[in-house]
């Protein structure tokens, strides 16, 4: 009986010793463990991602194989008033130019009394004046004049409407031209008679 009690007592002592050892081991492990790093307040800890960042994929550029047709441009229109001296210079510069035309828009009687050399007469007051202008080559260069610049100024507007490419009007007309001392050609006497006769025949009988 006594031996049994000693045996039980020894077992209890062993059990208590074992419990104490386990407790001590637990304390040591807790003290030596590395505390987790503190994250500053308000900041979210960064977690490393094992995924490799893929570069942004660029959209392919497509080339249009169609050839662009160049836009056909209308030649620049030049419609200007110029002085008699500028008109004289323009005439000299275009003496041998077949595409340069001088038009006198006065009446045939006025034309016969004196005109700029190589001018052709187209009467502004004629009912067919606009139609006569419209028959001309619109790509040529024209110099127009009248007695004082009024009729030729109106003719300039008409030629602009008809899409003439380049037209110049003499400011002050033949009056300003003569005031500058510039040369005029005078029709031969027979031509003057023919012009006046033609004009006389054109007047209706009741108006004579």
* The pLDDT of residue 53: 58
Element (H, E) at 78: strand 78-82
21 labelled catalytic: no
Can you give the pLDDT at residue 43? 52
The SS3 call for residue 185 is strand
- Residues 118 and 98: beta-carbon distance below 8 Å: no
Q: What is the pTM of this model?
A: 0.57
For 170, phi then psi, to 5°, come to -80, 115
Q: Which of 103, 112, 143, 146 is catalytic?
A: 146
For the segment 12-36, what is each residue's pLDDT rounded down to a tens digit?
777 777 777 666 776 555 555 555 5
The number of C-alpha atoms within 13 Å of 14 and in the hemisphere containing its C-beta is 6
CATH topology for 78-193 is Oxidized Rhodanese; domain 1 (3.40.250)
Average pLDDT of the chain to the nearest whole number: 78
Q: Residue 156: phi, psi to the nearest 5? A: -60, -40
Average pLDDT over residues 147-173: 97
Q: Cα 204 vs. chain centroid, distance in angstroms?
A: 56
In the prediction, which pLDDT does 16 show? 74
pLDDT given at position 176 = 97
For 44-100, what is each residue's pLDDT tens digit? 555 445 555 555 666 555 555 555 555 444 568 999 999 999 999 999 999 999 999
Residue 156 has pLDDT above 90, yes or no: yes
pLDDT score, position 181 = 94
């Amino acid at each position: 009986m006594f031996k049994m009690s000693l045996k039980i007592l020894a077992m209890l002592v062993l059990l208590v010793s074992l419990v104490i050892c386990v407790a001590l081991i637990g304390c040591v492990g807790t003290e030596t463990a590395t505390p987790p790093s503190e994250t500053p307040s308000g900041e979210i800890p960064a977690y490393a991602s094992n995924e490799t960042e893929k570069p942004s994929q660029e959209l392919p550029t497509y080339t249009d194989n169609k050839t662009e047709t160049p836009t056909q441009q209308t030649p620049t229109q030049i419609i200007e008033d110029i002085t008699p001296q500028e008109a004289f210079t323009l005439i000299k510069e275009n003496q041998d130019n077949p595409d340069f035309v001088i038009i006198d828009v006065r009446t045939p009687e006025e034309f016969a009394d004196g005109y700029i050399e190589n001018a052709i007469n187209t009467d502004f007051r004629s009912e067919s004046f606009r139609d006569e202008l419209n028959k001309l080559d619109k790509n040529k260069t024209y110099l127009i004049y009248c007695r004082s610049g009024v009729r030729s100024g109106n003719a300039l507007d008409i030629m602009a409407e008809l899409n003439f490419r380049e037209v110049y009007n003499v400011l002050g007309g033949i009056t300003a031209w003569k005031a500058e001392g510039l040369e005029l050609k005078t029709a031969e006497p027979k031509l003057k008679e023919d012009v006046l006769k033609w004009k006389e025949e054109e007047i209706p009988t009741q108006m004579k």
